[in-house]
């Protein structure tokens, strides 16, 4: 059993590798920089760009059974450089899927899609598994296109695909992530380190979030779950904790023992519209597959803070 993880050096990829290190699985990790990944038996690190078709092709020797495709040009970076998004999020990703399919062993492919496929103007009455896709960002548009390819190739019986739409995953390390929603993560680091922070959305902004630990549990579950339970579209929007920024600040303050007064609000209308207007969320498809959110806000905050503290 060999698991290929793309984007293995990224925020989610590193957490996934640390969980897979506890198993007996053979793991191939690919990313541009893997120098900081702890070595473990069964781990093969391949430092390469996903667009390097020759290197990628060499990895598919017929023994890759499972793939977690995390590598992507993220939202803000894709918006700034649509050509880069097209190169990685479309072309390199299709090449990856084609190589996976050509092996002939119908590998399980878990694709990290995004709630950005839904678009900006979400229905006030809430989002569910029937909500039509209206992506506005290049990132969401390209991810929606690959969802179609994942379903088509699964229908053809050449891969066994599952696309998971990830909500906001917290707490990403501060710094340039290329994600427009980075403020959600920055808030965790600020309160954990007792630093003042100005949120670019209002106290009433409501978001869907999940801890990276819970996200990784869902990815690992998706590697082995019964795809007979997946819908014909092979897509599931992950469940998430639905919370206002004010509630999140209160819980973070309470969990860290720091003051909620550290946080100021200076709403940016664009960010508020794109990330602060998430309505209620129903995810029966993902739940039927066995996917879960963090349980409640307190558990989510504890999970996220534990990852921050462990990473020091």
Site for its own copies (CB under 8 A): which residue of 90, 253, 271, 273? Answer: 90
State which residue, 218 or 237, has the beta carbon closest to its own copies.
Answer: 237
Taking the CA atoms of 255, 257, 262 and 264 in sequence, report the sign of the dihedral they define: positive
Smallest distance from its own copies to CB 137, Å: 9
Site for its own copies (CB under 8 A): which residue of 84, 106, 133, 299? Answer: 133
Smallest distance from its own copies to CB 250, Å: 36
Tokens of 212: 């990276």
Question: Where is 151: in which H helix or E strand?
Answer: helix 138-155
98 touching its own copies, by CB under 8 A:
yes
Tokens of 103: 């092996």
Tokens of 197: 């922070």
Site for its own copies (CB under 8 A): which residue of 232, 257, 261, 312? Answer: 232
128 touching its own copies, by CB under 8 A:
no
148 touching its own copies, by CB under 8 A:
yes
Smallest distance from its own copies to CB 244, Å: 27
**Beta carbons of 160 and 106 less than 8 angstroms apart:** yes
Smallest distance from its own copies to CB 135, Å: 5
What distance in Å separates the CA atoms of residue 2 and residue 28, rounded to the nearest whole number? Answer: 7
Residue 23: count other Cβ atoms within 10 Å of its Cβ: 13
State which residue, 141 or 248, has the beta carbon closest to its own copies.
Answer: 141
Look up tokens 């992530």; give the residue: 177
What distance in Å separates the CA atoms of residue 21 and residue 15, rounded to the nearest whole number? Answer: 10
State which residue, 154 or 185, has the beta carbon closest to its own copies.
Answer: 154
Smallest distance from its own copies to CB 148, Å: 5
**Beta carbons of 219 and 110 less than 8 angstroms apart:** yes
Number of residues that bind its own copies (CB under 8 A): 27
75 touching its own copies, by CB under 8 A:
no
84 touching its own copies, by CB under 8 A:
no
Site for its own copies (CB under 8 A): which residue of 132, 175, 176, 257? Answer: 132
State which residue, 136 or 271, has the beta carbon closest to its own copies.
Answer: 136
* Candidate segments 53-61, 86-94, 222-230, 286-294, binder of its own copies by CB under 8 A: 86-94
Rounded alpha-carbon distances, angstroms, from residue 218 to 68, 71, 181: 11, 17, 21
Q: What are phi and psi of 175, to 5 degrees?
A: 120, 175
Tokens of 50: 């996903």
What distance in Å separates the CA atoms of residue 159 and residue 152, rounded to the nearest whole number? Answer: 9
Site for its own copies (CB under 8 A): which residue of 144, 162, 212, 297? Answer: 144
Q: What is the CA radius of gyration of the chain?
A: 19
140 touching its own copies, by CB under 8 A:
yes
104 touching its own copies, by CB under 8 A:
no
Among 264, 261, 258, 262, which residue's Cα sits nearest to residue 301? Answer: 258
* Candidate segments 5-13, 138-146, 165-173, 272-280, binder of its own copies by CB under 8 A: 138-146
State which residue, 73 or 216, has the beta carbon closest to its own copies.
Answer: 73
């Amino acid at each position: 059993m060999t698991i290929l993880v793309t984007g293995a050096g990224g925020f989610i990829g590193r957490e996934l590798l640390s969980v897979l290190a506890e198993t007996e699985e053979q793991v191939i990790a690919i990313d541009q920089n893997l120098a900081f990944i702890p070595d473990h038996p069964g781990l093969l690190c391949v430092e390469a760009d996903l667009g390097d078709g020759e290197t990628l092709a060499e990895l598919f020797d017929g023994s890759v059974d499972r793939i977690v495709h995390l590598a992507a040009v993220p939202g803000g970076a894709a918006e700034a450089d649509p050509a880069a998004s097209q190169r990685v999020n479309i072309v390199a990703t299709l090449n990856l899927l084609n190589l996976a399919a050509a092996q002939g062993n119908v590998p399980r492919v878990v694709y990290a899609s995004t709630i950005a496929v839904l678009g900006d103007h979400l229905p006030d009455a809430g989002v569910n598994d029937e909500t039509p896709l209206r992506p506005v960002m290049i990132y969401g548009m390209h991810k929606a296109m690959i969802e179609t390819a994942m379903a088509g190739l699964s229908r053809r019986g050449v891969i066994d695909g599952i696309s998971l739409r990830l909500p906001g995953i917290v707490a990403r390390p501060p710094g340039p992530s290329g994600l427009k929603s980075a403020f959600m993560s920055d808030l965790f680091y600020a309160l954990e380190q007792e630093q003042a922070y100005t949120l670019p959305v209002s106290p009433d902004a409501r978001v869907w979030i999940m801890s990276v630990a819970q996200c990784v549990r869902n990815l690992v579950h998706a590697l082995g779950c019964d795809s007979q339970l997946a819908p014909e579209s092979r897509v599931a929007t992950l469940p998430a904790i639905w919370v206002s920024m004010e509630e999140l600040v209160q819980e973070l303050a309470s969990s860290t023992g720091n003051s909620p007064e550290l946080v100021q609000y200076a709403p940016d209308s664009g960010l508020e519209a794109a990330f602060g207007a998430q309505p209620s969320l129903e995810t029966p498809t993902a739940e039927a597959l066995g996917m879960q959110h963090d349980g409640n806000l307190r558990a989510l905050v504890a999970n996220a803070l534990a990852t921050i503290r462990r990473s020091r």
